[in-house]
A and B are shown apart, each in its own frame.
Chain A
Amino acid sequence: MTMIAILVLLIAPLLAGGLSLIVHRSALLHAINLTSMSLLVGAEVMITRTVLKDGPFTALGQLVYLDALSVFILFIIGAVGLACSFYMRSYMDDQVARGVIAPTRLNLFFFLFHMFLLAMVIATVANSVGVQWVAIEATTLATTFLIAFWRRRESLEAGWKYLILCSVGISLALFGVVLTYYSSLHVLGDVSEALNVTQLLPVADQLNPHVLKLAFIFILVGYGTKVGLVPMHSWLPEAYTEAPAPVAAMLAGVLEIVAVYAILRMKMIVDHAVSPAFTGGLLALLGFASFVTAAFFILIQHNYKRLFAYSSIEHMGIAMIGFGVGGPLGAFGGLFHLLNHAFAKSMAFFAAGNIHRRFHTVEIGQVQGLALAQPWTAMALMIAGLALSALPPFASFASEVQIVTALAAQGVPGQWLSNSGGMVTVAFSNQFTSLSLTGLFLLCSVLAFSGLLYRITSMVWGTPPEGIVRGEAWTLGHLPIIVLAAALVGFGFFLPQPIRQLLEEATRIILVH
């Protein structure tokens, strides 16, 4: 039964992609898309039940490995993907009707979308670190065209920048994979399984720590480019601004998280061989760099799509701090934050897409009176904005509190500290740094919060400019917005049992020693 579910997971996007190329009617394209996404979600539910009952397992001759962590990532892919599919129903039709996209290019869009999805599913379920690399590179290739889909000057520019930066990043990650293989070769021998997570984890403490340290740095920089961590983030604001709204939602909501997942997988292996202090210190360092930089850039944005892009960098930084600090609270908070961010950010981009279609501008200053012009979208924007600023009662408040508590209690692990001076100095400086870092964290959250909410409220209130139609008709595209908003508020109060269990299991997997 689970076997079938795994096959559905892989074949549904492939088949849908193939069909999209030959079908030309837009209604049929959407039907294929929705069917394939629903099948995908159904398969995920079945796999989740098996994993929660029987624990991790491999399938398809060791090629597929599924545990609570990968199932959790699959859950995010499925949820955001399905939401996007519903949203695209009204968004793409509207674009075609207004002549922005030629109807003949619609099937190309869906083909690329399905390939993008397939690559992300493979990257999540792959057992081999190498296959995972191939799949993540494939996401770059599929999304390059999606980002540049409008073929304007700016979108071509954004696409080129994305292609070049991410290809370079991902090449560095490949060097990390080669180094990992170099180290596992001595223990496991020259077999094709020597890159499998299931083979690497049990023998991880016999692997050479020097090689793995080097490998981890390369992989962190490589996949970190894809996550958009500072200082490898410069492609991200452009790509998010130029990509069509559903694509931006997928990039921000899912692709970043798949790249984080790849880093976490590597972190687990390196943690066994070296120590969590090494990997954690690096993650927290990049996390803080991203968080602080993004918090300041949020303050000066006057383009709402760029605003959300920087907010993505900020939240990925926060999640990275959570994983870097570690401990049950930090890791749980990090994972939970990934989920909340995926929901809130895809919602924000859906709202941004709606606004752009009505106001034809991305300038915040030219958008006013959204509450009168598009009441549904205004509500969605407010909810997404509040969730992204991590206010109670939203779930992101809970996850951010967990991370900051872990940070205050444990401080940032760092090997460079233990090298400097005696035990007393280390204890003192550790406490001191943890306090000052907690202070920095809170300061930056306040900055990001005020920057984001100030801009959003200025868009929502006021009177709409001349010539902007008031009122908003209900479409299918509003359904995912309502569901995501409900989930964002609901998870803050009460986490459904399966999701909670999944999160706890995944946390245990990350922390296992």
Chain B
Amino acid sequence: MAQRRLSACVDLFALQSAFLVLTAALVAFLTGNHHIYIAAALTGVIKVVIIPRVLKKVIERLNVKRELVMNVNVPAGLLICGALVMLAFFITQPIIPLGFLLTRDSLAIALAIVLIGFFTMIARQKAVTQLVGFLVMENGLFLGATAATYGMPLIVELGVFFDVLIAALIAGIYTNRLQDAFDNVDTNHLTTLKE
């Protein structure tokens, strides 16, 4: 949240995804559910390798290194993130004891990650950081799906990965096109269509 350098944001996202792969692999190992291994491997390939690479390329092409203007300043942003984490624990409090799985507590963490991703999308102005916020949301969802429920049915998981990949590619192409049309991918400039 506090990071201004765009490439560092992407690196952090890759790191988070790598931890996600470890979690998923751990769940797969502990429960013996083989289809989670597949999901973990896919996460590794798509979110640790492909998507960060696409994003880096976009950043390079756009030639934007730092995000100078943020809608919310860093200390306030961090405070809000802390509040969001507490909110996530508060919301999931009544339903966590229902789970009989050993990783059930991570449902709260998953919701927290989703909310933080959401907040990042609101607080940042660059198209690339908004995209990273979206991907962080997806990571939170994936954590919720694997850790709290031992993975969704495989067919759904595959579909989700496919969608995330396509979404990232589309957004990548899009930022390129936006660049051509606006010179600078600052979503604040996207204000022609106001009420």
Contact = CB atoms under 8 A, between A and B. Distances in A.
Interface stretch (B14-22, B51-59, B185-193): B185-193
Contacts of B107: 182
A130 B154 contact: no
A153 B181 contact: yes
Contact of B99 (A168, A182, A193): A182
A178 B177 contact: no
Contacts of A181: 145, 149, 152
Given A130-B156, A182-B149, A156 B163 contact: no
A194 interface: yes
B33 A192 contact: no
Contact of B141 (A151, A158, A178, A211): A178
Interface residues of B, number: 45
Given A153-B192, A164-B130, 13 more contacts: A131-B159, A154-B193, A157-B190, A164-B121, A164-B134, A171-B137, A171-B138, A171-B141, A174-B160, A175-B114, A182-B95, A182-B149, A210-B94
25 contacts: A128-B155, A128-B156, A130-B152, A131-B155, A131-B156, A133-B156, A138-B163, A140-B167, A153-B182, A153-B192, A156-B174, A156-B178, A163-B171, A164-B130, A172-B114, A178-B141, A178-B145, A181-B145, A186-B100, A191-B153, A195-B152, A195-B153, A208-B95, A208-B98, A210-B94
A238 B98 CA distance: 43
A369 B191 CA distance: 32
A453 interface: no
A128 B158 CA distance: 14
Nearest to A122: B159
Contacts of A168: 118, 121, 134, 137
Interface string A161-176: 1011001100110110
Contacts of B28: none
B177 A151 contact: yes
State which size class the interface on A falls in. Answer: 35 or more
Interface in A183-237: 183, 185-186, 190-195, 208, 210-211, 214, 237
A128 B153 contact: yes
B13 interface: no
A472 B162 CA distance: 46
A489 interface: no
A141 B162 CA distance: 11
B170 A145 contact: yes
A161 B166 CA distance: 17
Contacts of B39: none
B89 interface: no
A433 to B, nearest CB: 28
A144 interface: yes
A240 to B, nearest CB: 11
Nearest to A184: B149
A333 interface: no
B144 A157 contact: no
Contacts of A137: 163, 167
A31 interface: no
A160 B155 contact: no
